[in-house]
Structure 1
Amino acid sequence: MRSVTVARFFNRLTLVDASQLPRQNRKISRQSSTLNGASGLRPIDLKKRRTESNRGGSVPVSSIRGEVLDLAVDLRKARPGDKLEIPYELTVSEAMHDFWQSAFHGQDRISTSRPFCRSIGLQDRVLPFPLVLFLTSSMTHADAAKVQVGFENVTYHWPCFAGDTFTKNFLVKSVRTTSDGNHSVIKFYCELVNHRGRVCMSADKQMLFEFPITGGSSNVSSVGRMEQDSENNQLFRDHLLSKSMTLAELGSQSLKALRPGQLIFHTMYRSITLAQSMQLASLARLTHERHFDLRKYSVDTEILCPGGLVVGLTTSASSRDLHEILHEELLNVTFVNALHPNNVVGAMSYVQSVDDTIPGDLEMLLVRTIGVKNVDLVRDLGDGAHLPLELFTRTKMTTKEIERICKEHCPKLSNKIIVQMDRRIIRQSSHNDVFLL
């Protein structure tokens, strides 16, 4: 009985008129009969051929095309005075403060001791100067930058603490096309503002981009009220100076007296790993692929440590010998050679001047600190090595000028200098004075 029913079912299928089928089914039916009759292919062969055809790049019946959202600011038409709107906010936690100090050595009580800070009228430990600069200068929107050129006029206006929430303001200060006509250097005025509306730090930052600026080069000496309101604002420094007598009562912890003309080879050497570099870059909300994309860039030669971390490592290497720093400004910073993760960083500092006429036990130093990579200054150069004086006294040298001096007078430093920094430091004086009776 079952075999008869099945036979009738197949007979019924065979006798169906193709005109009674839906249009789509008729099309498939004709294609199947043609292929089966003309080529003699079995159903399995047909399935295999369709699969191979799709792998060969044929567009599916239903498809969608992906698109890339370009969230970076187009700086090709940037002009001086243009303000960049930054919608992001960042709250710095105690954990972030501690993570920074785990990577960058520092023993200044203003960043490590809560009782010390409260004794001089501060609510808590102050975030370290290099960390605040890193937050101030980090640009989520400038993904097209090739390298960071340097900083100028970095001022710590108001103390920053863990728990503060920060926003940023950026203004285009100047634009110029390089001599080769293929690149542009853009100077930004950067501000870090806390949740109470206080400008905590300001800095001028220069970056190199791989495109020429349309409309030619131009610059302005000031970019409006935003810069004017903060350029003379030194509330943090003035507060510390007002506490000079309290600081004298607390006592100085500065280890060595420093003198003008002194060149110090710092003996502390540190590096940051790839993981640390990527984590810190993520905490500062950097997005540039040269900090992260290991598929595209080599770790040893192409992945870059952010400029703020280069400054952090260099100041860290010098921190013990310049202890104890209360306040710092960067007058000029020039990045010379690239720093990659796991490169070992050392430093040397030249004391340009010492001003001990300020109140209490405080003194103001002008110091040029030079950071180097993968070289031991004492062992490779020698404790009594003679270095060209212009490397430490000449103002605002370019990368090419620094490299020329090294190649001509100290080849062991060629391609080893990563940064040159001119610093104004306020610290407690050393009490190791000799009295003649």
Structure 2
Amino acid sequence: MAFDSLSDKLQNVFKKLRSKGVLTEDDVKEAMKEVKRALLEADVNFKVVKSFVKSVSDRAVGEEVLKGLNPGHMVIKIVKEEMDKLMGSEMTEIKLRPSNEITIIMMCGLQGAGKTTTVAKLAYQFKNKGKKPLLVACDVYRPAAIKQLQVNGEKVGVPVFAMGDNNKPLDIAKAAIQHAAKNNINLVFLDTAGRLHVDEDMMNELAEIKDNLDIAYTILTVDSMTGQDAVNVATTFNDKIGIDGVILTKLDGDTRGGAALSIKAVTGKPILYSGMGEKLTDLEPFYPDRMASRILGMGDVESLIEKAQSAIDEEKAKEMEQKFRKASFDFNDFLDQMAQLEQMGGMQEILSMMPGMASQMKNVEIDENAAKTPKAIIQSMTPRERSLQDPISPSRKKRIADGAGVQIADVNRFLKQFEQSKKMMKQMSGMMGGKRRRGGFKMPFGLR
């Protein structure tokens, strides 16, 4: 999970602070030394670490904190607030022009950072908001770059404009904008060429596009797992051509967090989105306060709720709740719940966002493929068996096991777990009563 290494070290520091009834200046200094070491090991920029530790220390050694009722908790609160500031405090939204005008967004970055995939993810997000995006293939150098964009565009249902690799990127961009104007398209994404490293030709090409077109946003895609290299790339692009924001890719695999914690402080430019997986839906708006909560092991309930709201049909959720209460939950409902979990990113990701769960789950490997066995078992049942109209006799169990390619023992185990789940659902539904968040929303499997 993202930031595991840094999160573990910081939580150990906080555990020591919370265990002390009274804090002294020396306690705070010792804690800040450990925080500093943890941040440097996480590949956070040295100047950023120095400034961050000073800000926290200056606030933490005040009389109000040291003599407060819960000084350890107050210091942790200060760390959280300063970390929020470090990453920009508030989410920065891409503001598009009115629908009757064309907004042009130029995407740039080095090869391997995931730019072409990210531009398709971004177009998909805006398509779902009612915009009419167009992807433009301006990378005429990398083999198969145009084909990759076309494949991704088809997957997300967004058209792709391409002219082949014998044309200049600026000419392709100009022709694409004319095409957009004729076809009532109001959002154009230019997928420019990447290089293996920053070079003069690359920068000149991007500068030429910016000088000749009315670019609303220049967005840089960087690989978060490269740590300080990502920060250096962002600094160079900003100095050479000027960027308006950054998208961090592969953040789900970044155990350190150096890029996420350094980029805004070093470049002054906000992180706009974070790539959290390989699927074309795995792109999240970057909320500094939520990211700080994740890093500090406090969970990210707001993002979890938003994920669930986008994955769950409200009417179906209400209907499911009534089934829980009446214990009329059947195998078809079980399949629906599994599908919703998959849409939300799987159990590992869900648990990592729940307060206190990330540290408990760090050494637990959840086999997301384990869901395939119950799914195969249910799909091998008859419609009447799925809806609990026909009891599942021993002979039926054998037929189901053969159809699912499992042992009868696996079927028996699943049926037992299903009955236990039904009882638990009913108990949880009763315990929670009518308490809901955000107008009737309830999470799958009783998670709230």
TM over 0.5: no
- Relative to its length, the structure with more strand (as a share) is 1
Give the TM-score normalised by the residue count of structure 2: 0.21
Give the TM-score normalised by the residue count of structure 1: 0.22
- Relative to its length, the structure with more helix (as a share) is 2
> Is the radius of gyration larger for structure 1 or structure 2?
1
